[in-house]
């Protein structure tokens, strides 16, 4: 699950499928001389609903202009700014996203999702202290959201606040027992702490939940290889790379919060001739095109 720091804005947007829909839809008539503010707001909420529906199908380029217009037509609705801000965050336009989300928060201070998404945006800007404040404020309003707890864990982890990170990850798993990314990241923390057996145990637990997840497989492979179980490590690493060769890119791993200790061992692991050969094979594999009979 690469780029997991973007998981929360998408989760929040899909939650906004409950944006209150107007009683009826009516297109704006450009030649109307007297504008009805209620009708404009109604149209704005309709556009906001359309934007959220487009997010469901990952059509972000189509969703964004609708969200922009929705915020103009219904500027007093926190939902329109919330949707717009979340889409900006998804598109990595973080400053615009934070500005829109702050407007949403000013209109509705008790909406936890706005605070969660602000926290995610500030995490991505590297403002970890403010991110923690936003996420914790949201969790006071809505305590048991696994994705928000996961983001909180990631933020503590980036500050090397390892016990707090593990506590947040464990709470996320307590809310959703199959949430393997949180289990995987407990392994990342434990490895940086020097607890190699504990890290391997967590990665194996993540693999047991999803045997198609490349990240815990590669992490476990590197750890096994580094402690001398080279054959098992190489076999597991080959399987991971066949699943997703992006995990053979150290920069990609760093983006996915792999720490310095694990990255150092991964660099050595990736230089092994067997792993290099597997990577070449994976990159040269023909793309499977599904055809309709």
What CA–CA distance (Å, rounded) separates 130 from 207? Answer: 33
How confident is the model over 34-86, as pLDDT tens digits? 446 677 788 888 888 888 888 888 888 999 999 999 999 999 999 999 999 99
- In terms of phi and psi (left: phi > 0; alpha: psi -120 to 50; beta: otherwise), the region of 231 is alpha
What CA–CA distance (Å, rounded) separates 103 from 109? Answer: 10
Would you state the pLDDT for residue 25? 37
What CA–CA distance (Å, rounded) separates 162 from 227? Answer: 23
What CA–CA distance (Å, rounded) separates 209 from 216? Answer: 11
Would you state the pLDDT for residue 211? 95
Would you state the pLDDT for residue 12? 58
Q: Name which CATH class applies to 178-282.
A: mainly alpha
| Whole-number percent of the chain with pLDDT over 90 | 74
Residue 291 has pLDDT above 60, yes or no: no
Contact, 149 vs 112, CB < 8 A?
A: no
Would you state the pLDDT for residue 56? 84
Residue 1 pLDDT class (50, 70, 90 cuts): very low
Identical fold for domains 1-25+38-165 and 178-282, yes or no, is yes
Token pair 């990850």: residue: 169
Would you state the pLDDT for residue 289? 39
Would you state the pLDDT for residue 58? 85
Residue 115 has pLDDT above 70, yes or no: yes
How confident is the model over 85-100, as pLDDT tens digits? 999 999 999 999 999 9
Burial of 138 (0-12, 13-18, 19+ CB in 10 A): buried
How confident is the model over 131-182, as pLDDT tens digits? 999 999 999 999 999 999 999 999 999 999 999 999 999 999 999 999 999 9
Would you state the pLDDT for residue 142? 95
User: What are the residue boundaries of the structural domains of the chain, listed by start?
Assistant: 1-25+38-165, 178-282
Closest C-alpha among 230, 222, 232, 231 to residue 270: 222
Residue 284 pLDDT class (50, 70, 90 cuts): confident
Domain formed by 1-25+38-165, architecture: Alpha Horseshoe (1.25)
How confident is the model over 211-270, as pLDDT tens digits? 999 999 999 999 999 999 999 999 999 999 999 999 999 999 999 999 999 999 999 999
């Amino acid at each position: 699950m690469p780029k997991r720091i973007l998981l929360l804005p998408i989760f929040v947007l899909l939650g906004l499928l409950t944006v209150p829909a107007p009683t009826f839809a009516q297109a704006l008539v450009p030649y109307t001389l007297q504008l009805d503010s209620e009708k404009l707001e109604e149209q704005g909420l309709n556009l906001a609903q359309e934007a959220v529906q487009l997010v469901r199908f990952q059509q972000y380029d189509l969703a964004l202009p609708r969200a922009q217009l929705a915020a103009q037509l219904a500027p007093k609705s926190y939902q329109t700014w919330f949707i717009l801000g979340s889409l900006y965050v998804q598109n990595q336009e973080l400053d615009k996203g934070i500005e829109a989300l702050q407007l949403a928060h000013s209109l509705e201070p008790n909406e936890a999702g706005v605070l969660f998404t602000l926290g995610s945006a500030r995490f991505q800007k590297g403002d970890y202290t403010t991110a923690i404040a936003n996420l914790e404020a949201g969790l006071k309003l809505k305590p048991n959201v696994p994705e928000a707890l996961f983001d909180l864990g990631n933020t503590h982890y980036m500050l090397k606040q390892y016990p707090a990170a593990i506590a947040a990850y464990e709470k996320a798993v307590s809310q959703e027992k199959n949430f393997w990314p949180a289990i995987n990241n407990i392994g990342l923390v434990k490895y940086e702490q020097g607890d190699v057996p504990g890290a391997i145990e967590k990665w194996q637990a993540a693999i047991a939940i999803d045997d198609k997840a490349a990240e815990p497989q590669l992490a476990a492979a590197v750890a096994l290889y580094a402690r001398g179980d080279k054959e098992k490590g190489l076999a597991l690493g080959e399987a991971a790379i066949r699943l997703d060769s992006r995990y053979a890119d150290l920069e990609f791993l760093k983006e996915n919060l792999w720490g310095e200790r694990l990255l150092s061992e991964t660099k050595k692991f990736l230089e092994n001739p067997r792993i290099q050969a597997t990577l070449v094979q994976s990159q040269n594999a023909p793309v499977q095109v599904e055809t309709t009979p």
